[in-house]
Amino acid sequence: MSRLILIFFFLFSFSYSNDIYKAFAVAIYDENNHGENIQHSKITQNDYNEICYTKIAIFGKVSNNSKIDINIGTSLGNLENKIPLTNNKNIVIGYEYTFKHYTVDKGYIEVRVDNKLYDSKVYVK
């Protein structure tokens, strides 16, 4: 019985750890809300020069003092909005962040949380 309780507490603590287990770029769009889903893309279909927006999904627990950096080439994104992502039981499992980028030229979208790279597979033309 004590082993069962020990295993239960171990699994419970593992499932509610403070780690981020997935973070990736979801979408990119311009100032006129013309955009595309980039979850399964290697390169964007449209050109996004100057000002554009990116949506990022982060699953896991993000602390309030975590540093989230989203780059497109040399352009650093500025946080615009944060929306909780919930499962069907209304439990928050992550967040969707919207970032605004100025002076975008071209390059890979890089998603970093606390200087750890999570995603860099999409090239923005």
pLDDT for 8: 47
Does 17 map to a domain?
A: no
Q: For 111-124, b where at least 16 C-beta lie within 10 A, e where not — what string?
A: bbbeeeebbebbbb
> Contact 122/109 with Cβ under 8 angstroms?
yes
Predicted TM-score (pTM) of this structure = 0.80
Domain count, the chain: 1
Does 9 map to a domain?
A: no
List the structure tokens of 67.
């540093």
Selected residue with higher pLDDT from 68 and 15:
68
List the domain range (segments joined by +) for residue 39.
22-124
Among residues of the chain, what percentage have pLDDT more than 70?
86
> How would residue 15 be classed by pLDDT, with cut points 50, 70 and 90?
very low
Does 98 map to a domain?
A: yes
Does 31 map to a domain?
A: yes
Does 59 map to a domain?
A: yes
Does 15 map to a domain?
A: no
Q: What gap in Å lies between CA 71 and CA 54, rounded to an integer?
A: 10
Does 11 map to a domain?
A: no
Report, as an integer, the average pLDDT of 27-45: 91
Q: What gap in Å lies between CA 28 and CA 102, rounded to an integer?
A: 13
Does 12 map to a domain?
A: no
Whether 6 has a pLDDT exceeding 60, the answer reads no
